């Protein structure tokens, strides 16, 4: 569908669209999102509440020669939104509604809805859920378009496996701004635009205003039957290994055990894909090594199977960990694991992140390199860590070409460092870059797709992958993120954003 021609005043004067410019009390607050490394200074923010607001903002930016970017939750790890040349930022945080759309027979989720809101409202309203992350402040706009995964993914797949349709504000070659809806239906002429939003990343093709989600094989009209139901409760284990007792050989054994178990138990038909775990290898200055693991409490023999998993991970490690186990109702369990939206570890931070997706195990040499950086005496930090995250399972029951996000990984690795003071930027950036480079030294400092790696995850955006100082592999950044799907994404870009209005440091370029 497309709206009738809509040509508002280019400066939005006299419209109902909230516009915030310098001098407004709200301006400085809007200039900062999650990552304080990047401070936006646009001519104005547009606080959109409807697709028509977004159309007005985009049209106005184009008509006045301003670059426009969009923000939902504001958790991007790079300056995709806040670069100095941006004149207009469309903020979607007010577009956070979640409802059931009877026309589509699907749940409508506005792009500004946060993960925490999605989980809560789907469950409270209909007793359903989607596989999504546990960083509660992340916005749907970027999370879903980049693929969307989380603790339920081994059992249920990715967020985009439930994406029925997407509503997007786009710009044609002649500058016309319109809103289109693209569905997964085979006969939809806009279907490729839908496909591009199943892992192609945010800020590439237009401004997503709404997602429509339902299970692809769902039937009937009862909303409670159109998305998966979560388990009633989760049985949780929290495990703690103090760094003081871990020699290098113990760390190598521990991390190796974790990944090897995932490799052996992550096929789509595995009996243990309902066991989720995250091994958090914090830098010694920030804490110790911890692991969260859980299994549905109503599954077959859950407590014994989780105990078997814990034994496998700890096998041959030289110290006995502290283990705490408990069962919690599902919604409480999601908050138990959650990354908070408030507090000193959520607000006012500077950060850098990296990622690599694995289908094979790290070598002992790679793990020794990780140990060296995680125990370095010269790194003081608020939080710095390398995480191994359980993945695979139902994720890999979908062919890689069916969605824009590549498949085949069974473990995700996530690297993060957080700090407060701008004076410490170089030190923290050097630490995480050297850690990542040394782990991937055999493949040019980056996770080149091979027997071990499948690449990286676009939602953990990292501009270093496009920097020849840190990527010496000769493999371009887009191969690391999209593999063979990139040319198809370029074709979508050429059709739906031929003027390259929506671009950033790692954006899809139009095919020529």
475-498 pLDDT tens trace: 999 999 999 999 999 999 999 999
Determine the pLDDT at residue 317.
Answer: 98
Instruction: State mean pLDDT over 97-114.
Output: 97
pLDDT band at 81 (very low <50, low <70, confident <90, very high): very high
Instruction: State mean pLDDT over 372-400.
Output: 96
Q: Which residues are paired to 386 by β-bridges? A: 281, 415
Tens digit of each residue's pLDDT (9 = 90 or more) over 229-282: 999 999 999 999 999 999 999 999 999 999 999 999 999 999 999 999 999 999
Determine the pLDDT at residue 51.
Answer: 96
The share of the chain scoring above pLDDT 90, in percent, equals 95
Please give the C-alpha separations between residue 402 and each of 133, 184, 462, 481, in angstroms, as whole numbers: 21, 10, 25, 16
Determine the pLDDT at residue 14.
Answer: 56
The share of the chain scoring above pLDDT 70, in percent, equals 97
Tens digit of each residue's pLDDT (9 = 90 or more) over 305-350: 999 999 999 999 999 999 999 999 999 999 999 988 888 878 999 9
pLDDT of 474 > 60? The answer is: yes
What b/e readout covers 214-251, taking b as 16+ CB neighbours within 10 angstroms?
A: bbeebeeeebeebbbebbebbbbbbbebebeebeeebb
pLDDT of 75 > 80? The answer is: yes
298, burial (CB in 10 Å: exposed 0-12, middle 13-18, buried 19+):
exposed
Determine the pLDDT at residue 13.
Answer: 56
Q: Distance between alpha carbon 266 and the CA centroid of its chain, in Å?
A: 21
pLDDT band at 4 (very low <50, low <70, confident <90, very high): very low
Instruction: State mean pLDDT over 4-8.
Output: 36
pLDDT band at 5 (very low <50, low <70, confident <90, very high): very low
pLDDT band at 512 (very low <50, low <70, confident <90, very high): low
Determine the pLDDT at residue 10.
Answer: 43
pLDDT band at 16 (very low <50, low <70, confident <90, very high): confident
Tens digit of each residue's pLDDT (9 = 90 or more) over 413-438: 999 999 999 999 999 999 999 999 99
Tens digit of each residue's pLDDT (9 = 90 or more) over 120-150: 999 999 999 999 999 999 999 999 999 999 9
Determine the pLDDT at residue 342.
Answer: 84
> What's this model's pTM, rounded to 2 decimal places?
0.95
Tens digit of each residue's pLDDT (9 = 90 or more) over 162-194: 999 999 999 999 999 999 999 999 999 999 999
Determine the pLDDT at residue 43.
Answer: 98
Pairing of strands 350-358, 453-455: antiparallel
Structural domains of the chain, ranges and CATH numbers in brackets:
1-230 (3.30.465.10), 233-484 (3.40.462.20)
Using alpha carbons, select from 356, 368, 361, 412 the residue that is nearest to residue 252.
368
Q: Distance between alpha carbon 304 and the CA centroid of its chain, in Å?
A: 32
Please give the C-alpha separations between residue 128 and each of 224, 309, 337, 394, in angstroms, as whole numbers: 6, 28, 19, 18
Q: Give 22's contacts (C-beta < 8 A, 6+ positions apart).
A: none
Supply φ then ψ for residue 151, to 5 degrees: -60, -20
Distance of alpha carbon 69 from alpha carbon 141, whole angstroms: 13
Tens digit of each residue's pLDDT (9 = 90 or more) over 194-223: 999 999 999 999 999 999 999 999 999 999
pLDDT band at 17 (very low <50, low <70, confident <90, very high): confident
pLDDT band at 411 (very low <50, low <70, confident <90, very high): very high
pLDDT band at 8 (very low <50, low <70, confident <90, very high): very low
Q: Which residues are paired to 389 by β-bridges? A: 278, 412
- Mean pLDDT, the chain, rounded, equals 95
Residue 474, Ramachandran bin (φ over 0: left; ψ between -120 and 50: alpha; else beta)? left
pLDDT band at 1 (very low <50, low <70, confident <90, very high): very low
């Amino acid at each position: 569908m497309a709206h009738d021609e809509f040509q508002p005043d280019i400066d939005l004067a006299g419209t109902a669209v909230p516009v915030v410019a310098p001098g407004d009390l709200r301006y400085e607050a809007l200039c900062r999102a999650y990552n304080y490394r990047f401070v936006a200074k646009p001519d104005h923010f547009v606080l959109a509440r409807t697709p028509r607001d977004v159309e007005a903002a985009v049209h106005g930016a184009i008509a006045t020669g301003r670059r426009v970017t969009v923000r939902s939750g504001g958790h991007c790890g790079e300056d995709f939104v806040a670069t100095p040349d941006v004149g207009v930022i469309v903020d979607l945080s007010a577009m956070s509604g979640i409802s059931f759309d009877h026309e589509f027979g699907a749940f409508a989720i506005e792009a500004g809805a946060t993960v925490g809101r999605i989980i809560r409202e789907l469950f409270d309203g209909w007793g359903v859920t989607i596989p999504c992350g546990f960083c509660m402040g992340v916005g749907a706009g970027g999370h879903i378009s980049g693929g969307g995964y989380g603790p339920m993914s081994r059992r249920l797949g990715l967020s985009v496996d439930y994406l029925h349709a997407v509503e997007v504000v786009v710009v044609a070659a002649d500058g016309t701004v319109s809103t289109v809806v693209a569905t997964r239906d085979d006969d939809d002429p806009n279907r490729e635009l839908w496909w591009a939003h199943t892992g192609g990343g945010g800020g590439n093709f237009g401004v997503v205003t709404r997602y429509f989600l339902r299970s692809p094989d769902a039937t009937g009209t009862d909303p409670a039957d159109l998305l998966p139901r979560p388990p009633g409760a989760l049985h949780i284990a929290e495990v703690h290994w103090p760094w003081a007792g871990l020699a290098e050989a113990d760390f190598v054994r521990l991390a190796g055990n974790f990944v090897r178990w995932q490799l052996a138990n992550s096929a789509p038909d595995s009996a243990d894909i309902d066991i989720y775990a995250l091994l958090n290898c914090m830098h010694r200055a920030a804490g110790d090594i911890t692991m969260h693991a859980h299994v549905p409490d109503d599954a077959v023999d859950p407590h014994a199977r989780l105990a078997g998993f814990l034994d496998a991970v700890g096998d041959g490690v030289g110290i006995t960990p502290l283990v705490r186990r408990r069962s919690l109702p599902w919604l409480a369990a999601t908050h138990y694991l959650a990354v908070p939206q408030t507090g000193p570890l959520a607000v006012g931070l500077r950060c850098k992140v990296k990622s690599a997706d694995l289908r094979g195990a790290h070598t002992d040499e790679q793990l020794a390199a990780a140990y060296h950086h995680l125990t370095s005496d010269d790194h003081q930090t608020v939080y710095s860590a390398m995480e191994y995250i359980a993945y695979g399972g139902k994720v890999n029951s979908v062919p890689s070409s069916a969605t824009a996000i590549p498949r085949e990984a069974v473990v995700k690795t996530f690297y993060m460092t957080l700090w407060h003071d701008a004076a410490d930027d170089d030190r923290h950036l050097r630490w995480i870059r050297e850690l990542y480079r040394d782990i991937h030294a055999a493949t040019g400092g980056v996770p080149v797709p091979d027997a071990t790696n499948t690449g990286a995850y676009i939602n953990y955006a990292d501009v270093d992958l496009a920097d020849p100082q840190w990527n010496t592999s000769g493999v371009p950044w887009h191969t690391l993120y999209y593999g063979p799907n990139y040319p198809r994404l370029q074709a979508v870009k050429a059709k739906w954003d031929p003027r390259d209005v929506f671009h950033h440091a790692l954006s899809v370029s139009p095919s020529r």
